């Protein structure tokens, strides 16, 4: 059987942050690029995001908070200034600097950036095609990836390319892979991302000889209150309990199970491993005033997260005393008495022995003793996976012996290892590795 054939310098699979950043960068330097996108439009999770392009303030902080492979974390820090300069040079709207979690960044016009990349691709004679995916990568006798067989409802086309970049956005949309690579409880986790990223990049990379970092069980996500109906994109931020790093979390046995103060994203990771993958998130009047009603970044609107959760199906209580908290916990299948004992231990240690508390509190350790108390049952929701294809610092996919699979690149959430059980920005990771991939393909 013969297939229609197209030729290009760079074939990109996935038109999100990593894929289009690579495509635009290469096209601006003269490459003919073909981008295939499964959805009927560009943007992926990047278009659902707040567009805050941020990272850790130094490689040392990246190591601490991203907690992935130092060499990959360094690539993000090193390439970040170049990425910002590229946006500014093209006239993309970039805000003033803002503090974001344990780093810094900018609010950018993400739509302008990605649409601008499409324009660059088309201007250089390339194409971005929709509702198209890839059935298999093409390889020559030596194992070099030479393009891919693309599939559209009208038929199949072989795209021959000097380099192929996998940028399909991770495997969070695939319950089977979530349970295999993250935790068996992760099979039923709520999806807080685009619906198309279901592990195609992993499958294609692996079939071509690439290795998957199966030991990296990390992912980025947030704890959310119970929704009336999940799926509407506005819930992704509305119901996220970003302030859980200032609260306490208790599992069904009434036990704390992690250092909550590290961040809501790591709390999400730890909660999926708890019985029935849920927890009670508890905070007091001080935390409510200082964190649960304040925006996570300067550009987001303030909102009372507890009130919004309760208006949309949340299970919670505003309690005037500890006894009411215990009753609420017991009524919802948690061990209320054990939870109150644990809370009392926490308050004692916060006052007299934070340094020997277990689990520890490394970032903020103040007693929860100002009524009223807020308790909300929370569930993990996943935004993207960390355990993708093994890559080197040039974004080349590696096999299980550490050798590059020739011609094959991966960036963004399809690539594994940049983060461990930590997080320092998804957009910056995708954009910097997208640019890195384009450079490795020869477009400096
Ligand atoms: C609600 C929300 C808020 C966020 N806020 C922020 C934020 O403020 N700051 C930040 O740094 N990060 C944020 N993120 C995370 C950020 O959006 C992602 O980390 C980033 O978009 C990942 O880039 P990517 O290119 O890997 O994936 P994506 O941007 O998701 O792109 C992947 C693309 O591949 C396509 N695709 C999937 N499968 C195939 C296939 N088989 N064939 C062809 N195409 C395919 C998808 O449709 C998609 O277009 C947020 C995410 C969400 C959901």
pLDDT, tens digit (0-9, with 9 covering 90-100), for 62-91? 998 999 999 999 999 999 999 999 999 999
Q: Could you list the residue range(s) of the whole structural domain that residue 357 is in? A: 219-382
What is the 45 CA–ligand 1 centroid distance (Å)?
3
Query: From the CA of 49, how far away is ligand 1's center (Å)?
Result: 8
**pLDDT reported for residue 297:** 79
Q: For residue range 34-66, what is the model confidence (pLDDT) as tens digits? A: 999 999 999 999 999 989 999 999 999 999 899
Q: What DSSP character marks residue 143?
A: -
| CA 412 to centroid of ligand 1, rounded, Å | 8
User: 5 near 160, Cβ under 8 Å?
Assistant: yes
Domains held by the chain: number: 2
Q: What token pair was written down for 201?
A: 């990049």
> Where does ligand 1 bind, in terms of residues with CB under 6 Å?
13-19, 36-39, 43-46, 48-52, 133-134, 167-169, 192-194, 196-197, 200, 236-237, 383-384, 412-413, 425-428, 430
Q: Where residue 263 sits, what CATH number does that domain have?
A: 3.90.700.10
pLDDT at res. 102: 85
| Same-domain pairing of 374 and 390 | no
Ligand 1 site-directed mutation target among 23, 36, 42, 45, most atoms within 8 Å of CB = 45
What pLDDT is stored for residue 50 in this prediction?
86
Over residues 397-425, the mean pLDDT reads 96
Q: Quick: pLDDT tens for 281-291.
A: 999 999 999 99
Complete DSSP assignment for 94-136: B---EEETTEEEEEB-HHHHHHHHHHHHHHTT-EEESSEEEEE
Whether residues 200 and 81 share a domain: the answer is yes
pLDDT at 214 over 80: no
Check residue 2 and give its pLDDT: 57
The residues, any chain, with a CB within 8 Å of residue 411's CB and separated by 6 or more, are: 18, 19, 22, 165, 166, 167, 391, 395, 430, 433, 434, 436, 437
Domain end residue (candidates: 382, 399, 423): 382
What tens digit of pLDDT does each residue of 423-439 get?
A: 999 999 999 999 999 99
Q: How many CB atoms lie within 10 A of CB 253?
A: 13
Best CA proximity match to 100, nearest among 58, 52, 46, 50: 52
Taking CA atoms only, the protein residue closest to ligand 1 atom 53 is 193
Mean pLDDT for 388-415 is 97
Do 333 and 397 lie in a common domain? no
Please report which helix (H) or strand (E) contains residue 390, including its range.
strand 389-390
Distance CA 2, CA 413 (A): 33
167 pLDDT exceeds 80? yes
CA of 285 to the centre of ligand 1 (A): 36
Name, in order, each residue with C-beta under 8 angstroms of 43's C-beta and a sequence gap of 6 or more.
Answer: 15, 16, 110, 111, 114, 194
- Fill in the DSSP letter of residue 267: H
Centroid of ligand 1 to alpha carbon of 16 (angstroms)? 6
């Amino acid at each position: 059987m013969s297939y229609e054939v197209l030729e290009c310098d760079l074939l990109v699979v996935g038109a999100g942050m990593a894929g289009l950043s690579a495509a635009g960068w290469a096209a601006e330097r003269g490459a003919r690029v073909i981008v295939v996108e499964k959805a009927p439009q560009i943007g992926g999770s990047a278009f659902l995001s707040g567009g805050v392009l941020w990272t850790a303030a130094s490689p040392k902080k990246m190591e601490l908070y991203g907690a992935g492979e130092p060499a990959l974390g360094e690539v993000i820090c090193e390439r970040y200034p170049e990425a910002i300069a590229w946006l500014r040079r093209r006239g993309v709207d970039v805000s003033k600097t803002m503090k974001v979690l344990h780093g810094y960044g900018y609010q950018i016009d993400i739509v302008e950036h990605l649409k601008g990349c499409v324009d660059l691709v088309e201007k250089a004679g390339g194409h971005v095609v929709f509702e198209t995916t890839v059935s298999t990568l093409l390889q020559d006798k030596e194992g070099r990836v030479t393009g891919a067989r693309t599939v559209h409802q009208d038929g199949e086309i072989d795209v021959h390319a000097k380099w192929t970049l996998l940028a399909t956005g991770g495997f969070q949309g695939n319950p089977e892979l979530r349970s295999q690579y993250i935790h068996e409880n992760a099979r039923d986790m709520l999806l807080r991302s685009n619906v198309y990223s279901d592990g195609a990049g992993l499958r294609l990379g692996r079939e071509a000889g690439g290795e998957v970092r199966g030991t990296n069980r990390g992912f980025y996500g947030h704890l959310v209150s119970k929704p009336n109906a999940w799926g509407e994109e506005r819930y992704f931020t509305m119901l996220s309990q970003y302030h859980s790093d200032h609260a306490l979390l208790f599992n069904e046995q009434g036990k704390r199970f992690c250092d909550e103060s590290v961040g809501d994203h790591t709390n999400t990771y730890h909660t999926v491993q708890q019985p029935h993958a849920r927890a009670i998130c508890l905070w007091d009047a001080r935390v409510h005033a200082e964190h649960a009603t304040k925006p996570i970044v300067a550009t987001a609107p303030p909102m009372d997260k507890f009130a919004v959760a309760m208006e949309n199906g949340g299970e919670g209580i505003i309690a005037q005393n500890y006894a009411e908290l215990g009753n609420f916990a017991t009524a919802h299948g948690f061990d209320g008495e054990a939870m109150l004992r644990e809370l009392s231990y926490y308050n004692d240690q916060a006052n007299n022995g934070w340094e020997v508390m277990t689990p520890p509190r490394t970032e903020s350790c103040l007693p929860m003793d100002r009524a009223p108390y807020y308790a909300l049952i929370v569930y993990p929701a996943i935004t993207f996976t960390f355990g993708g294809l093994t890559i080197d610092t040039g974004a080349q996919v590696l096999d299980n012996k550490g050798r590059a699979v020739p011609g094959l690149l991966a960036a963004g959430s399809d690539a594994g290892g940049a983060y461990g059980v930590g997080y320092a920005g998804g957009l910056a990771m995708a954009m910097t590795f997208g640019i890195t991939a384009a450079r490795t393909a020869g477009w400096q």
